[in-house]
Amino acid sequence: MTERTLVLVKPDGVERGLIGAIIARIETKGYTVERLELLRATPEQLAAHYAEHEGKPFYPPLVEFMSEGPLVALVASGHGVIQGFRSLAGTTDPTTAAPGTIRGDLGRDWGLNVQKNLVHGSDSEESAAREIAIWFPEG
Ligand code: RTP
Ligand code: MG
């Protein structure tokens, strides 16, 4: 069965005009974009999406950052896309994310108390199913 993952181009990526560059990396890797929407996250969506991080010091600034402008939610598909997109995205901190990755090539430290790191990708099949339902509730 073809795997699906939930990708977010976070508000920093939209603001910097990197939607196209990020989607191009997904497509040139060979994955298929199945759903795509530019939207403003609701507090309910962010609380559900980041439930695992509630209570951590970076949670309040993270939710604030994710609310500050529109983001792109998309579903990408292909064999191995969950791990494949995480690999394309690079590690969480853009300062040290490997060159060649989205975060490593396009991101950096902006001196803020949250890591503005351009993208999110689901980290497991369970997360992907849960997160796709949050951002594409109509199915
Ligand atoms: P994501 O969930 O967004 O794909 O990123 P991730 O798995 O690499 O990182 P995770 O640990 O799940 O953290 C979620 C997001 O929170 C922000 N963060 N900031 N110490 C910090 O400043 C800090 N730690 C995490 C990042 O935006 C991270 O992507
Ligand atoms: Mg994560």
Q: Write the DSSP assignment of 93-128 as a string of letters.
A: -TTTSPBTBHHHHH----SSSS---SEEE--SHHHH
Q: What is the CATH number of the domain that holds 102?
A: 3.30.70.141
pLDDT exceeds cutoff 80 at 17: yes
Q: What tens digit of pLDDT does each residue of 30-80 get?
A: 999 999 999 999 999 999 999 999 999 999 999 999 999 999 999 999 999
Domain count, the chain: 1
Domain residues for the domain of 58 are 4-135
Which residues carry out catalysis?
120
Residues forming a β-bridge with 135: none
ipTM of the complex, rounded to two decimals: 0.92
29 is in an annotated binding site: no
Q: What is the pLDDT of residue 139?
A: 83
- For ligand 1, residues with CB inside 6 Å are 53, 58, 62, 92, 114-115, 117, 120-121, 123
| Mean local confidence (pLDDT), 81-100 | 98
What tens digit of pLDDT does each residue of 92-115 get? 999 999 999 999 999 999 999 889
Token representation of residue 15: 């603001």
